[in-house]
Amino acid sequence: DTAVSQTPKYLVTQMGNDKSIKCEQNLGHDTMYWYKQDSKKFLKIMFSYNNKELIINETVPNRFSPKSPDKAHLNLHINSLELGDSAVYFCASSRGQGGNHSPLHFGNGTRLTVT
């Protein structure tokens, strides 16, 4: 069973459209994240949720809106897609929060291509 699963794996869409990426984890973790990986493989955190509450919200356009219906799910909705949004988006989860560090567990990514 996949621990962190995200769908879809590939997403091709046109500029201006609205799309969502879904993420689910079955690890019982309290904290979930969205990371963006650009074409140079650089991983940058976008959002972090702990028990459905937003903890981290890096400088991300407000076209990106995360939603956490429960602590096992963290979805990412993107409005008015732009060419620069093309990237691989990774969902991750961890046990830790605050000073209780623990590793991130990543999904296999969603490759978003905006044309």
Partner 1 sequence: GESVGLHLPTLSVQEGDNSIINCAYSNSASDYFIWYKQESGKGPQFIIDIRSNMDKRQGQRVTVLLNKTVKHLSLQIAATQPGDSAVYFCADAATITGNQFYFGTGTSLTVIP
Binding site for partner 1 (CB under 8 A): 4, 31, 35, 40-45, 48, 55-56, 90, 92, 94, 96-109
- Check: CB of residue 102 under 8 Å from CB of residue 96: yes
Could you tell me the smallest distance in angstroms from the CB atom of residue 97 to partner 1?
6
Q: Which is nearer to partner 1, 12 or 56 (CB)?
A: 56
The pairing of strands 105-106 and 110-114 is unpaired
Q: Which is nearer to partner 1, 29 or 114 (CB)?
A: 29
Could you tell me the smallest distance in angstroms from the CB atom of residue 99 to partner 1?
4
Token pair in block for residue 114:
């905006």
Token pair in block for residue 83:
């060419």
Q: Which is nearer to partner 1, 18 or 58 (CB)?
A: 58
Residue 83 Cα distances to 65, 67, 76, 87, angstroms: 18, 23, 17, 10
